[in-house]
């Protein structure tokens, strides 16, 4: 569909090949409508290493009918519209949260679930859009967002290849500032359904950078995805898994999140530094200590032809190496050699 693209820019930050993995803390609606809680979540996520924090913007009347069901893992005592109204922030609050995130050196991203939500975010100059998995088949919505010419993160949690093809084609008609996120819309997602294989398939199929939106309970999938080329990792974030709401039970608490980010940074550092297996300078001292040399197995007189039983191998590796054993057997000694002496060429005629 497109020539290969290595990276995109989000709020002036390069995301993709050659850049640090872009780690997003998905806060979603975990703030439960508390502005102070939202600030605490943002600050704690940034402290734990998040490059960006993400909220969700739901406008009840624009997004859902009154009797639309909740996902099966959440059973609130209110309607879906009522829930969205209760947790909503107004325009000025979103602006303040964007500025708050920026003051901490982070980027605020927001998933919009309706065109009306996109319009509100445009008034706040949000730097890019995350298209949620449930909107992939909503091509008019995708066309509208893509027409804004801003970077897009496209999640794929409940889409077939054919559905993704249509969504990607719609975006690429406008621009190629696109990253595709492998995702499986199970909460929590078991390891066998993560789909790490899809990362490479997406990269080959669409020629765009790829990442992982991870719903598992641990960091293993995220770390594995980085080794497979993921340039974005999105992970649900909460202050406590005991908090109310649909997301906290499968979100990471600050210590886990911080450990995940640390692991990502360690992996990307390793990937940035390929080694030459023939360059042994840094292990030269260790080779001398741990490898072995050819050693006299007994006291050996001068002038005899060396036999197998005359020789053995022992540490350290400072003399003739064991690989030369067959070459040394059959040679004549140039002088007496005491037992446990490390052989050198001077011992041989």
pLDDT digits (tens, 9 = 90+) for 47-102: 999 999 999 999 988 988 888 888 777 777 788 888 889 999 999 999 999 999 99
Query: How many helices and strands in the chain, by DSSP H and E?
Result: 12, 12
Give the pairing type, strands 52-57 and 311-314.
unpaired
Residue 253: other Cβ atoms inside 10 A: 17
Mean pLDDT value of segment 172-200: 96
Q: 339 is written with which tokens?
A: 């037992």
Radius of gyration of the chain (CA): 30
Q: Is the dihedral of CA 322, 327, 329, 333 positive or negative?
A: negative
Distance CA 43, CA 48 (A): 9
Q: Indicate whether 168 pLDDT > 60.
A: yes
Which range scores top for mean pLDDT: 74-83, 271-280, 337-346?
Answer: 337-346
Strands 107-112 and 129-131: parallel
- CATH number for 13-272 (one of 3.40.50.620, 3.20.20.70, 3.30.428.10, 2.160.10.10): it is 3.20.20.70
What is the C-alpha to C-alpha distance for residues 232 and 322, in angstroms, rounded to an integer? 49
Is residue 101 within a helix (H) or strand (E), and if so which, with residue range? helix 91-103
The yes-or-no verdict on residue 261 having pLDDT over 80 is yes
Asked whether residue 199 carries a pLDDT value surpassing 90, the answer given is yes
Average pLDDT over the chain, rounded to an integer: 94
Claim: this prediction has a pTM higher than 0.75: yes
Note the pLDDT of residue 132: 94
What is the distance, to the nearest Å, from the Cα of residue 102 to the centroid of all Cα atoms in its chain? 23
Judge whether residue 6 has pLDDT over 50: yes
The CB density around residue 178, as the number of other CB atoms within 10 Å, is: 23
Residues of the chain with CATH 3.20.20.70: 13-272
Contacting residues for 233 by C-beta, under 8 A, at least 6 apart: 21, 22, 23, 24, 211, 212, 214, 222, 225, 226, 260, 264
Residues 233/211, Cβ–Cβ less than 8 Å: yes
pLDDT band at 3 (very low <50, low <70, confident <90, very high): low
Domain 281-347 has CATH 3.10.129.10: no
> What is the chain's percent helix, strand, coil content, to nearest 5?
40, 20, 40
pLDDT tens for each residue of 143-165: 999 999 999 999 999 999 999 99
Of 230, 319, 240, 294, which Cα lies nearest the Cα of 267? Answer: 230
Average pLDDT in the 25-39 region? 96
Residue 304 in this model has a pLDDT that exceeds 80: yes
Residue 1 has pLDDT above 80, yes or no: no
Rounded-to-10 torsion of CA 109, 110, 111, 112? -140
- For residues 60 and 81, give the distance between their C-alpha atoms in angstroms, rounded to a whole number: 5
Q: Tens digit of pLDDT for each residue in 212-233?
A: 999 999 999 999 999 999 999 9
Distance between CA atoms of residues 337 and 322, nearest Å? 18
Q: Measure the CA–CA gap between 252 and 245, rounded to whole angstroms.
A: 14
- Parts of the chain belonging to CATH 3.90.1210.10: 281-347
In this prediction, residue 246 carries a pLDDT of 85
Supply 189's token pair: 């997602």
Taking residues 136-145, report their average pLDDT.
Answer: 96
């Amino acid at each position: 569909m497109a020539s290969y693209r290595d990276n995109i820019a989000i709020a002036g930050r390069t995301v993709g090949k050659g850049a640090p993995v872009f780690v997003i803390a998905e806060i979603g609606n975990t703030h439960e409508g508390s502005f102070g809680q939202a600030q605490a979540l943002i600050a704690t996520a940034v402290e734990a290493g998040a490059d960006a924090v993400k909220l969700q913007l739901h406008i009840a009347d624009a997004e859902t009918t009154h009797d639309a069901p909740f996902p099966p893992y959440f059973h609130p005592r209110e309607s879906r519209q009522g829930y969205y109204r209760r947790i909503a922030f107004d325009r000025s609050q979103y602006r303040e949260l964007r500025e708050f995130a920026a003051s901490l050196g982070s980027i605020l991203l927001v998933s919009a679930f309706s065109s009306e939500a996109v319009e509100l975010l445009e008034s706040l100059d949000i730097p890019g859009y995350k298209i949620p998995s449930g909107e992939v088949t909503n091509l008019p919505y995708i066309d509208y967002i893509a027409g804004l010419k801003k970077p897009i993160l496209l999640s794929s949690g409940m889409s077939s290849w054919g559905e993704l093809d249509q969504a990607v084609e719609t975006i690429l008609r406008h621009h190629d500032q696109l990253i595709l996120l492998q995702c499986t819309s199970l909460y929590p997602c078991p390891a066998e359904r993560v789909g790490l294989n899809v990362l490479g398939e997406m990269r080959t199929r669409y020629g765009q950078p790829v990442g992982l939106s991870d719903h598992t309970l641990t960091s293993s999938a995220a770390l594995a995805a980085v080794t497979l080329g993921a340039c974005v990792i999105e992970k649900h974030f909460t202050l406590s898994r005991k908090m109310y709401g649909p997301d906290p039970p499968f979100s990471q608490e600050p210590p886990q999140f911080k450990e995940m980010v640390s692991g990502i940074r360690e992996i990307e550092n390793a990937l940035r530094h390929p080694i030459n297996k023939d360059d042994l300078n840094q292990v030269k001292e260790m080779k001398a200590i741990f490898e072995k040399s050819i050693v006299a197995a007994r006291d050996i007189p001068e002038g005899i032809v060396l036999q197998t039983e005359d020789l053995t191998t022992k540490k350290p590796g400072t003399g003739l190496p064991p690989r030369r054993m067959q070459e040394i057997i059959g040679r004549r000694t140039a002088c007496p050699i005491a037992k446990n002496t490390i052989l050198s060429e001077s011992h041989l005629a």
